[in-house]
Chains A and B, each alone.
Chain A
Amino acid sequence: MSAKWAYTLAAIISALIVIAFVLDQVRTVSVLEFSLRYAVPLILAAMVGIICERSGVINIGIEGQMLMSAFAGFFGAAATGNLILGTLIGVGTGMILGAFLAVGAVTWKMDQIIAGTVINILAVGLTSFFYVQGQVLPGTTPTVTIPGLSSIPLIGPVVFSNGLFTYAALIIPLLLWVLLFKTRWGLRTRSVGEKPSASDTSGIGVQSFRFWNVMLAGLLAGMAGAYLSIEAAGTFERGFTAGRGFTALAIMIFGAWNPIGALAAAFFFGLTEGVASQLQADEVVAIPQQFINMLPYVLTIVLLAIVSGRVKPPAAVGRPYEKD
Chain B
Amino acid sequence: MSTIDPAQTDLGYTDPDPRRSGPLDRLPGIVLPVVSVLLAFAVGGILIWLQGVNPLEAYAVLFSNALGTPEGLVRVMQKSTPLILTGLAVTIGLRAGLFNIGAQGQLLVGAIGTAWAGYHFQMPLIIHIPFALAFGILCGAAWASIAGVLRAYRSVSEVITTIMLNAIAIALVDYLASEPLKEEGQPLTRTPAIADTAALPAFGIVPSGFILAIVVAVFFGWFLSRTTQGFRFNTVGLNPSAARYAGMSVKKTIVLAMAVSGGLAGLGGAVETLGVTGRFEPAFNAGLGFDGITIALLARANPIAAIPAALLIGTLRTGGAALQFQTGIEPEVVDVILAITLLFVSAPLVARLLFRNRNIKQTTVTKGWGA
Contacts and interface: CB of A to CB of B under 8 A. Distances in A.
Interface of A: 58, 60, 104, 108-115, 117-118, 121-122, 124-126, 128-129, 131, 242-243, 246-247, 249-250, 253, 288, 290-291, 293-294, 297-298, 300-301, 304-305, 308-309, 313, 317-320
Interface in B138-176: 146, 150, 154-157, 159-161, 163-168, 171-172, 174-175
16 contacts: A108-B349, A110-B347, A112-B368, A113-B159, A114-B366, A117-B101, A117-B293, A125-B335, A129-B332, A129-B333, A129-B336, A288-B179, A290-B175, A294-B167, A301-B146, A319-B368
Contact of A121 (B47, B338, B370): B338
A269 to B, nearest CB: 12
Interface in B336-368: 336-340, 342-343, 346-349, 362-368
Given A111-B346, A121-B335, A125-B337, 8 more contacts: A104-B347, A111-B365, A247-B164, A288-B175, A301-B146, A304-B161, A318-B369, A320-B362
Interface residues of B, number: 54
Nearest to A245: B163
The 4 A-B residue pairs with the shortest CB-CB distance, nearest first, are A318-B368, A125-B335, A290-B175, A122-B339
B150 A305 contact: yes
A58 B368 CA distance: 7
Contacts of B174: 290
Nearest to A60: B159
Contacts of A304: 150, 154, 156-157, 160-161
B348 A110 contact: yes
B91 to A, nearest CB: 14
A157 B186 CA distance: 46
Contact of B168 (A117, A118, A242, A298): A298
A1 to B, nearest CB: 14
A114 B347 CA distance: 9
A224 B259 CA distance: 35
B167 to A, nearest CB: 4
A288 B297 CA distance: 38
A293 B179 CA distance: 16
A111 B156 contact: no
Contact of A111 (B146, B165, B171, B362): B362
B335 A124 contact: yes
A125 B339 CA distance: 7
A242 B367 CA distance: 25
B330 interface: yes
B1 interface: yes
Given A108-B347, A125-B339, A301-B150, A114 B294 contact: no
Contacts of A58: 368-369
Contacts of A250: 160, 164
A108 B155 contact: no
A118 B297 CA distance: 11
Contact of A122 (B171, B343, B364): B343
The B contact surface, by secondary structure, is helix
Nearest to B334: A125
B280 to A, nearest CB: 15
A243 B164 CA distance: 8
A286 to B, nearest CB: 12
Nearest to A128: B332
Contacts of A297: 164-165, 167-168, 171
B154 A290 contact: no
B160 A318 contact: no
A318 B172 CA distance: 33
Nearest to A129: B332
Contacts of A108: 347-349, 362
A108 B350 CA distance: 12
Given A129-B332, A294-B171, A300 B366 contact: no
B99 interface: yes
A60 to B, nearest CB: 6
Contacts of B223: none
Contacts of B362: 108-111, 320
A129 B47 contact: yes
A121 B335 CA distance: 8
A84 to B, nearest CB: 28
Nearest to A300: B164
B290 interface: yes
Contacts of B346: 110-111, 114-115, 118
A309 B164 contact: no
Nearest to A117: B293
Given A129-B330, A129-B332, A318 B163 contact: no
A293 B365 CA distance: 32
A113 B364 CA distance: 9
Contacts of A309: 154-155
Contacts of A313: 368-369
